[in-house]
Structure 1
């Protein structure tokens, strides 16, 4: 029987374990913290659960008056500038972590039921292959002792951990990374978010919705510098309109705990110093400046696995590393920091090694989502690709303000953007900025994956009224480009 050892139980690891066991291999998963990894325990599942609460609050705050909803309790009169709803952060976080632990247990049950073995501990790869090409993995067991495993193939799926600023070390109380937020029992009065990438923007928006006064410190010209510029502009406008202090071109140099006077009282807080000498004070600071791959100290380079300067593992499109018999998946590869991509990399690795039919990883068909309010979903080629001449494409952007369902729901911000090839009209990309954009991107993702044309997308029935109707309408507008080109 083929022996496979997987180091890391996140999406890349546990999905690979399910496939490997299904294909008849003897699979052992070495995991330190619980199956699901950071994605389930401290990152994706907890953050999106928190955001679900924030989303309800934002939706209600933004539209209850317009929709004619009357609040009949001791809430201030509708003309009084006060929030209608509040939040018990301790209760929210207990629910967040309860769901994360439940999801981890469900995954563990599924993996064991499939026939894989789970070993709690930290694994490292021995440097040399055996005469039969096998690899040895040594596990420092969680309850003490050591176990030596022999594998015909090893999959590294060790994920990453939060990057730190040297002079802004998290203490878990006032200066926090995103894994420590769920220990808070009370809502931060004034939260300073350092970093305006996806993680920073999501938490900044969520805590603003929950009721914190948020300052977002961005070293770049705009929020979400890696996303569609039109989408980022909409989100930044929404942030500012809702009262967020967005500080562009402001790089944080340090963060330290201070005692400050608030309304005549001395209170614990933080002071963030920027590289230009300015300072920002608040009650708490969240450091969200990216992640570092968990690739050190597990024997990779000694085993012949090539790493990038960033510490990420170099892989090809079927998840192979430079070392025979060693594959890698997930955030430790730096390919695309998404749970869906990690899972696909892990599955592809198993299909490839075990001789099953496999298609190489195609990042052009990956749909991604930023869980802000509104959400930002993307797939395929981007506006940057068009602007840089990487692809010749026609572009249409259609505001949701024209959409009847959006008007009914009080949605004011958002758009649908489609990219298609001139001449053929094949859909090659799209952007959706809207509530539940993560759901609305799916028909565009199918169009990109299956090489559908704007004609086919435009002629598909959509529900009236619906937000998805704007996708078909954007396709119809691209049809007019196609007709004019043919004329």
Structure 2
């Protein structure tokens, strides 16, 4: 006997950083709302992404500072690898608290939650199959897809055999967080933000780490001088960094002390070499979780990689069906996902949230094309890399007539010197004619927080000379924004 169809005003598929607040707002606006979640409330950010990784990184920072104690005149007695069981449990406890808080908020708001796999069976109709095989049929005129992404394994010769032989040694950004011991040696395949955060973390926890990066620099999104600064920092920390190096083949010997052997090819000198390790982390990319939704039944179109294209108001190819968060394509940031919720909130006029016009301030309709500021991000290496706005390489050489660049090492920052945290650099890109700040990067202690000060100035339309003339508290990290402009040069 087929299950009875349950009719809602709105269905949200996925409880990530846009899905959860959206479901709550829909209910508060008077719409009967269902939220479907496959695994756990909170999505990637709370369960496998931001919250747990930054919790682990805090443990790595504690180990790093403990070993540095003698440099500050404090005796240190840190020997050997970290207690990974305790590190992991601390992470689990914090994640659990966040997840339970989200569950309570949804329940208190009156959202109907279904746990299970969602699949479209019609344009506005889905089935939800639970872990025990129970099936529900749901229907709504408004459907919001917020299913996120998952790690994607690279096409590496021999990888399937290694996974079949020693699956616990082949890690992704989710499984590495559940290790009960620190790897003796870790190969990190990929020199992007995720790969570098984990590489430095496990080096500090006691692993010997190799980073294999196919591109000519780490962090390919960044300007070369910033990437080089980050590379120097990681190598100073003891990591082995191999840029312009392609992974060609991987083998496994279960009886060897270093069971994994990765054969690589260097594009620098056309040489072949091998790297061995006890574990390997695959940090080469992610893929959208749209392939299990049977989107063909809904008519929702995807691109060749599985992402869901939308218009500027996040509506898909089917009216009334929207896509939010990572599944609609990059940039894949939690704060972008949350702003996607705000785009929907403002354009569907979800009460009790007041629109901007309620304050007598007419503005353009909120859309992904009119976000209120350039999108910032932070890589939580130590020191952090914070960035907002344009990089210099984003501006074609032919269009740099009025462009100026300022660069200053963190060793020129008083607060950084006082704390013995002077590694890294700051870089600003400005319009030399108008004074507009076009972009800012900081690799340094609390680099993300320094970046946020500049972001606020950009949002307020301040010029670079306004920051130069500001009175900042002394000694503070923000005080560096008095001084960096003294190094402005034509690009």
What is the TM-score when the length of structure 1 is the normalising length?
0.88
Is 2:52 the counterpart of 1:46?
Answer: yes
- Rate the CA distance shift 1:212–1:451 in 2: closer, same or farther, 3 A: same
Secondary structure at the residue paired with 1:5? strand
Contact between 2:408 and 2:487, CA under 8 Å: does it hold in 1? Answer: no
The answer to whether the Cα contact below 8 Å between 2:80 and 2:206 also exists between their aligned partners in 1 is no
Measured after TM superposition, the shift of residue 84 of structure 1 is 5.6
- Change over 3 Å in CA distance of 1:388–1:269 after alignment to 2: farther
1:426 lines up with 2:415 in the alignment: no
Are the structure 2 counterparts of residues 168 and 451 from structure 1 closer, same or farther at C-alpha, using a change threshold of 3 Å? farther
> How many angstroms does 1:409 deviate by?
0.7
Q: Distance in 2 between matches of 1:457 and 1:18?
A: 40
Q: Indicate yes or no: 2:414 matched with 1:404.
A: yes
C-alpha distance in structure 2 between counterparts of 1:29 and 1:467, whole Å: 43
**1:360 — aligned with what?**
367
CA distance in 2: counterparts of 1:213 and 1:435, whole angstroms = 24
Name the SS for the 1:150 alignment partner: strand
Q: 1:111 to 1:475 in 2, by over 3 A?
A: farther
The answer to whether the 8 A contact 1:194-1:288 is kept is yes
Structure 2: distance between partners of 1:114 and 1:456: 45
CA contact (8 A) 2:413 2:422 kept: no
Please list, as runs of the form range in 1=range in 2, the aligned pairs for 1:217-236 lying within 5 A after superposition.
217-236=212-231
Decide which moves more: 25-34 or 169-178: 169-178
1:176–1:286 CA contact under 8 A, matched in 2: yes
CA distance in 1, matches of 2:108, 2:222: 40
Structure 1 stretch 199-208 or stretch 442-451: which is displaced more? 442-451
In structure 2, the CA distance between the partners of 1:117 and 1:475, relative to structure 1 (3 Å rule), is farther
Over 3 Å counting, the alpha-carbon distance change for 1:396 and 1:147 in structure 2 is same
TM-score by length of 2: 0.87
User: 1:165 is matched with which residue?
Assistant: 154
The whole-number CA distance in structure 1 between the counterparts of 2:184 and 2:468 is: 48
Distance in 1 between residues matched to 2:30 and 2:459, nearest whole Å: 30
* Contact 2:116–2:128 (8 Å) recurs in 1: yes
Q: Is the 8 A contact 2:346 2:366 kept in 1?
A: no
Among 362, 385, 390, which residue is 1:381 paired with? Answer: 390
Name the counterpart of 1:122. 117
Q: 1:390 offset after TM fit, Å?
A: 6.2
CA distance in 2, matches of 1:94, 1:296: 33
- Alpha-carbon separation, structure 1, partners of 2:34 and 2:62: 41
Aligned to 2:477: 467
Residue 243 of structure 2, aligned match among 232, 245, 248 = 248
Contact 2:407 2:487 in 1 (8 A): no
How large is the RMSD of aligned CA atoms in angstroms?
Answer: 2.4
Equivalent residues in 2 for 1:276-355, closer than 5 Å: 277-354=272-349
> C-alpha separation between the residues in 1 aligned to 2:453 and 2:327?
30
Alpha-carbon distance, 1:230 to partner? 2.2
Please name the residue that 1:142 is paired with.
131
Indicate whether 1:66 and 2:71 are aligned. Answer: yes
Q: Say which of 16, 21, 37 aligns to 1:31.
A: 37
- Give the distance between the partners of 1:450 and 1:95, measured in 2 at CA: 39
Cα offset, 1:85, TM superposition: 7.2
Unaligned regions of 5+ residues in structure 1, if any? 76-82, 129-134, 261-265, 482-487
2:257 to 257, 267, 271: 267
Cα shift at 1:327: 0.7
Change in Cα spacing, 1:239 to 1:203, as seen in structure 2 (3 Å) is same
Measured after TM superposition, the shift of residue 229 of structure 1 is 2.3
**Equivalent runs, 1:166-181 vs 2, <5 Å:** 166=155, 167-169=158-160, 170=163, 172-181=167-176
On the 8 A contact 1:30/1:121 being kept in 2, the answer is yes
Other-structure match for 1:79: none
**Gaps in structure 2 of 5+ consecutive residues:** 1-6, 266-270, 356-364
Q: CA deviation at 1:88?
A: 0.6
Report the counterpart of residue 378 of structure 2 in structure 1: 369
Number of aligned residues: 458
